[in-house]
């Protein structure tokens, strides 16, 4: 294993690997921490999204709140913290919808997705590097935006579709 880079969030290593079929190859591996995301449900039929500036893509994008699980933190604690910081949301119930890899071809990122019922909204307290606006829309509108490309973030799309299927909301 050769570590090419190790930074704030991302580590890159490139290794010579022998596959189960005997084939040998260089594998480029991005090591990324465990992350959480949540679909905040507000007044039973609305969702709270974030219009967030993402420097990596050089643009704003609509997303559910998300963040990495910090050292010593449990995923559920990271979830409650992110909802509080990014959305200003106090939640009274949350439930896991999914967990898995975002891009297992090159990244170790493992994401747990929840929905969370919001009890109370107050002012968000984003970090200086988080350029975020809160957007409250109906679940129905959110689903339309998944279909028409206005929600172009995969974890957010999956949170919305899984919540609809779980609650029996028709498309």
Q: Which residues bind a second copy (CB under 8 A)?
A: 4-5, 7-10, 12, 14, 17, 19-21, 23, 25-30, 32, 53-57, 61, 63, 66, 98-109, 111, 128-129, 131, 143, 146-147, 149, 151-155, 157-158, 161-162, 164-166, 168, 170-171
23 or 92, CB closer to a second copy? 23
Spacing of C-alpha 93 from chain mean position: 18
Q: Do 17 and 24 form a contact (C-beta atoms < 8 A)?
A: yes
Q: How far is the CB of 120 from a second copy (least distance, A)?
A: 26
Which residues have CB under 8 Å from 118's CB, separation 6+?
Answer: 40, 41, 42, 48, 83, 87, 89, 90, 91
10 or 119, CB closer to a second copy? 10
122 or 133, CB closer to a second copy? 133
13 or 90, CB closer to a second copy? 13
Spacing of C-alpha 96 from chain mean position: 13
Q: How far is the CB of 116 from a second copy (least distance, A)?
A: 18
Q: Which helix (H) or strand (E) is 148 found in, with range?
A: helix 139-148
Q: How far is the CB of 29 from a second copy (least distance, A)?
A: 5
d(CA 40, CA 79): 11
């Amino acid at each position: 294993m050769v570590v090419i880079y190790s930074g704030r969030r991302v580590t890159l290593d490139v290794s010579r690997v022998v596959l189960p079929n005997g084939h040998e190859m260089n594998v480029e591996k991005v090591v990324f921490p465990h992350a959480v995301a949540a679909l905040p449900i507000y007044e039973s039929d609305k969702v709270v999204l974030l219009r967030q500036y993402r420097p990596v893509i050089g643009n704003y994008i609509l997303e559910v709140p998300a963040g990495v699980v910090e050292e010593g933190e449990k995923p559920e604690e990271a979830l409650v913290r992110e909802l509080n910081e990014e959305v200003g949301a106090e939640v009274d119930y949350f439930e896991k919808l999914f967990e898995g890899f975002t891009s297992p071809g090159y990244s170790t990122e493992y994401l747990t997705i929840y929905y969370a019922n919001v009890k109370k909204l107050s002012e968000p307290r984003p970090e200086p590097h988080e350029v975020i606006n809160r957007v409250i829309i109906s679940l129905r509108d959110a689903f339309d935006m998944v279909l028409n490309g206005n929600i172009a973030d995969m974890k957010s799309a999956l949170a919305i579709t899984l919540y609809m299927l779980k609650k029996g909301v028709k498309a």
